[in-house]
Homo-oligomer: A and B are copies of this chain.
Amino acid sequence: MAYLFHTDDDRREMLQSIGAASIDEIIDAQVPQSVQFQRQLDLPPAMNEMELTAELTRLAARNANANTHVCFLGGGAYDHFIPAAVDEIASRGEYYTSYTPYQAEVSQGNLQVMFEYETLVTQLTGLGVSNASLYDGGSAATEAVLMALATQRGRMRVVTSDVVHPQYREILASYLRNIDAELVVIASDENGRSGGLIDALDDKTACVLIQHPNFVGGLEDVAAISAAAKAVGALTIQSFDPLSLGRLRRPGDMGVDIAIAEGQCLGNPLAFGGPYLGIMACRDELVRRLPGRIAGQTTDRRGKRCWVLTLQTREQHIRRDKATSNICSNQTLLALRATVYLSLLGPHGLRETTDHCIAKTAYAKQTIIAIERLEVVSDGPSLKEFVVRDRAGDVADLLEHARNHGVLAGIDLNPLLGRYTEGSFTGLPERYRDCFLVAVTEKRSRAEIEQWARTLSQAPQTAAC
């Protein structure tokens, strides 16, 4: 049956060795009759591989995706190109069917990759130390805040802005609800920047959490914010876009203490939101409060260089309720993919990628200038994301039209306006009513960008301008 090995003969011989008459006898001896399940589980009947492949191919075919449609969706997950070598390496059984390197001697492959990943993250961020991964960008942001709260004992305020990813703020609000901490969400200015949060800083502030480029594509003055935070003794946490760093300054070079990111863009498939990759790096001094696994270099009993999991006294399996986090299984396979991806890019490939995003985004903005119905809301330069307003006030229909013409044209921002979670503002400001968010990666060809603009321009208008 499916993947089972034992034949009836095997089972008979095994029972004999055990000294039991039947498997039921073994179970009955342990599981009280009263709690045993009396019927068969009501699941769809078993299917063989051939049927299942056909059936699931059918289900898969009913989903629009970045293959069937041209994808301009972003908001934290992006359709960047994934080189074939990434897939080939990550599909090796030695990687994907192994587990946490509890036995270093037979896990040097995974451990060395973790060490390389950590080094690449420090090179990317300009910070001293990286962990081996967290679940995703959103939960990493919250872990960073918890880390800051733990290192800044006595300070309870967490200051952030309304153009930080709404979902990241929702997570923060959920986690902070049950612990002693106050979440302060300041309003961004009309250009979608968060300079105003400098005024909200005080000596009760444990940390500020900013995103750069932020959710609406705005570029923050990170250096100024981190300087101000430092001045009041608070830590600065930046959510960054790894693929912006071919051009933008590195978090560590702008005074950031903890940098976190969604690492999906580094060679990981969109996969409807997961599994993704939570990246976290921090200044050297903060390492003892860093959550998650860390691989470090050491030598073996014959003096050979090798790698081990280290600083484990931070972790749940040693420290239990005193651990820096509860994380156990993490996102190693995604970190492997990011490691391969970055190895393939190198500094020049990374710069090219950022530059292509910038150039294509600028071109995309230009293609819709002439469309009366649309207005580019984001002023100033864009990395790969910007906001467009539908003057007709009919974003949902506009995007539906595009979808039906093979284009995933943007993310409707209306549902994100004015939301609250556990009492904190986790929505976007009213300024983005009737708007949608557009992402243009290096993968979008000129023809696709023009198709996007054309499709938007041809959408029928139901409401008046």
- Chain A: residues with Cβ within 8 Å of the partner, total of 15
Q: A81 contacts B443, CB within 8 Å?
A: no
Q: A49 contacts B91, CB within 8 Å?
A: no
Tell me the residues in window 89-112 of chain A with beta carbons closer than 8 Å to chain B beta carbons.
91-93
> Which B residue's beta carbon lies closest to that of A85?
B49
CB neighbours (8 Å) of A88 from chain B are 91, 93
A50 at the interface (CB under 8 A from B): yes
CB neighbours (8 Å) of A49 from chain B are 81, 83-84
CB neighbours (8 Å) of A84 from chain B are 49, 53
The listed residue (B51, B83, B91, B443) touching A91 by CB distance below 8 A is B91
Give, as a whole number of angstroms, the nearest-CB distance from A348 to chain B. Answer: 12
Whole-angstrom CA separation of A54 from B446 in the bound complex: 13
CB neighbours (8 Å) of A91 from chain B are 88, 91
A16 at the interface (CB under 8 A from B): no
A445 at the interface (CB under 8 A from B): yes
A442 at the interface (CB under 8 A from B): yes
Whole-angstrom CA separation of A49 from B445 in the bound complex: 13
Q: A442 contacts B81, CB within 8 Å?
A: no
Q: B92 contacts A50, CB within 8 Å?
A: no
The listed residue (B50, B92, B445) touching A81 by CB distance below 8 A is B50
> Which B residue's beta carbon lies closest to that of A54?
B445
Give, as a whole number of angstroms, the nearest-CB distance from A176 to chain B. Answer: 41
What 0/1 pattern do residues 44 to 84 of A give for CB contact below 8 A with B? 00000111011000000000000000000000000001011
CB neighbours (8 Å) of A50 from chain B are 81, 442-443
Whole-angstrom CA separation of A432 from B51 in the bound complex: 35
Tell me the residues in window 362-398 of chain A with beta carbons closer than 8 Å to chain B beta carbons.
none
CB neighbours (8 Å) of A443 from chain B are 50
CB neighbours (8 Å) of A51 from chain B are 445
Whole-angstrom CA separation of A445 from B49 in the bound complex: 13
Tell me the residues in window 319-346 of chain A with beta carbons closer than 8 Å to chain B beta carbons.
none
Whole-angstrom CA separation of A49 from B93 in the bound complex: 25
Give, as a whole number of angstroms, the nearest-CB distance from A203 to chain B. Answer: 50
Give, as a whole number of angstroms, the nearest-CB distance from A412 to chain B. Answer: 27
> Which B residue's beta carbon lies closest to that of A352?
B48
CB neighbours (8 Å) of A54 from chain B are 445
CB neighbours (8 Å) of A445 from chain B are 51, 54
Interface-centre pick from A84, A92, A442 (highest chain B CB count, 10 A): A92
CB neighbours (8 Å) of A93 from chain B are 88
Whole-angstrom CA separation of A442 from B54 in the bound complex: 13
> Which B residue's beta carbon lies closest to that of A443?
B50
> Which B residue's beta carbon lies closest to that of A447?
B54
Whole-angstrom CA separation of A445 from B92 in the bound complex: 33
Whole-angstrom CA separation of A442 from B53 in the bound complex: 14
What 0/1 pattern do residues 234 to 253 of A give for CB contact below 8 A with B? 00000000000000000000
Tell me the residues in window 428-446 of chain A with beta carbons closer than 8 Å to chain B beta carbons.
442-443, 445
Whole-angstrom CA separation of A81 from B93 in the bound complex: 23
Give, as a whole number of angstroms, the nearest-CB distance from A265 to chain B. Answer: 14
Give, as a whole number of angstroms, the nearest-CB distance from A332 to chain B. Answer: 20
Whole-angstrom CA separation of A456 from B53 in the bound complex: 27
CB neighbours (8 Å) of A81 from chain B are 49-50, 53
Whole-angstrom CA separation of A51 from B81 in the bound complex: 10
> Which B residue's beta carbon lies closest to that of A94?
B92
> Which B residue's beta carbon lies closest to that of A83?
B49
CB neighbours (8 Å) of A92 from chain B are 92
Give, as a whole number of angstroms, the nearest-CB distance from A126 to chain B. Answer: 26
- Nearest 9 Cβ contacts at the A-B interface: A50-B81, A49-B83, A50-B443, A54-B445, A49-B84, A92-B92, A88-B91, A91-B91, A50-B442
- Some 14 contacts from A to B, beta carbons below 8 A apart, are A49-B81, A49-B83, A49-B84, A50-B81, A50-B442, A50-B443, A51-B445, A53-B81, A53-B84, A54-B445, A88-B91, A88-B93, A91-B91, A92-B92
If A50-B443, A51-B445 are given as contacts, then 12 extra A-B residue pairs at C-beta distance below 8 Å, sorted by A number, are A49-B81, A49-B83, A49-B84, A50-B81, A50-B442, A53-B81, A53-B84, A54-B445, A88-B91, A88-B93, A91-B91, A92-B92
